[in-house]
Amino acid sequence: MPADVRRRLDELGSRHSLAPNALLSLERLLDMVAAEPTSITSVRNPSEGVDAHVADSLVALGLPAIRDAKRVADLGSGGGFPGLVLGIALGGARVTLVESAGRKCAFLARVVHELGLRNVDVVHARAEDWRAGLACHDVVTARALAPLPVLLEYAAPLLAQSGALVAWKGRPEAPEISDAAAAAAVLGMAEPAALRVAPFAGAQNRHLYISSKLSPTPDKFPRRAGMARKRPLGAAA
């Protein structure tokens, strides 16, 4: 591992009060991403990934909802960000990585096994089909997965009362924001609030969007797989 990556991991460890074994696991995770022969992420160089993946994932530790969570579901986990990073950082939480692509699930499962992450599970499913995850999570996370109205529809059925969606986004256009507010009202969720974050130097327009579950999800949700994208909730709907 390049010395600059180790230095940066040490900085992140100090910033987020991570244990030494967590830093070792994050280093090994970056190594495994770099060595993976299949295309699980466009950023595979550890010198770039330490910020683009690890720092970007860890920035959510600034939220009490994340720090205090006991059950976390990471949707569309892909290469493991933020889910694997949060699983490493939050040793006392049960983190489930939900991914619909089999090859990505295979990678995630291999990482979980090799790093000995006993608090992390991998589920091969679409969010809408994961019935075992309904109404029992403190936090649902998602990064670069879907527009906000779609994320709200994915997350609401999986959240326990007062749980929260935390979504990593750039700066959505106004129609997405208004549609998200309308979708939240239908789903019993709070209008998403934007928190600008700076996980690393040069990060542009990086935001966490947070929405809490205010009331039980209506019985018609989740809709069948694909409907949230095909016919998204929103102002027009």
Residue 166: which CATH number? 3.40.50.150
Is 237 inside a domain boundary? no
Whether 61 is covered by a domain: the verdict is yes
Q: Is 217 among the domain residues?
A: yes
Looking at residue 135, what is its pLDDT? 97
- Classify residue 141: in a domain, yes or no: yes
Structural domain contains residue 117? yes
CB 97 within 8 A of CB 121: yes
Alpha-carbon gap, residue 98 to 151, rounded angstroms: 13
Confidence (pLDDT) at 140: 98
Cβ burial, residue 198 (10 Å; 0-12/13-18/19+): exposed
pTM: 0.96
- Count of domains observed in the chain: 1
Q: Is 62 exposed, middle or buried (0-12, 13-18, 19+ CB in 10 A)?
A: middle
Residues 6+ apart with CB under 8 A from 53: 30, 33, 41, 43, 79, 81, 85
Q: What is the Cα 221 distance to its own chain's centre?
A: 21
Asked if 163 contacts 137 with a C-beta cutoff of 8 angstroms, the reply is yes
Q: Residue 117 is part of which domain span? A: 3-230
The answer to whether position 195 is within a domain reads yes
The token duo for 132 is 């075992």
What CA–CA distance (Å, rounded) separates 155 from 162?
A: 12
What's residue 1's pLDDT? Answer: 80
For residue 235, is it within any domain? no
- Quote the pLDDT of residue 235: 66
Supply 142's token pair.
């998602």
The CA-based diameter of the chain, rounded to the nearest angstrom, is: 53
Beta bridge partners of 194: 209
φ, ψ for residue 13 (rounded to 5)?
-60, -40
Mean pLDDT by 10 residues, the chain (237 residues): 92 96 97 91 93 98 97 97 98 97 97 98 98 98 96 98 97 92 98 96 92 97 95 80
| Distance in angstroms (rounded) separating the CA atoms of residues 99 and 76 | 5
pLDDT at 81: 97
Residue 210 is predicted with a pLDDT of 98
Q: Which residues have C-beta within 8 Å of that of residue 27, sequence separation ≥ 6?
A: 1, 5, 6, 9
pLDDT value at residue 202 = 87
In a domain, 236, yes or no: no
Look-up of token digits 């992450």: 117
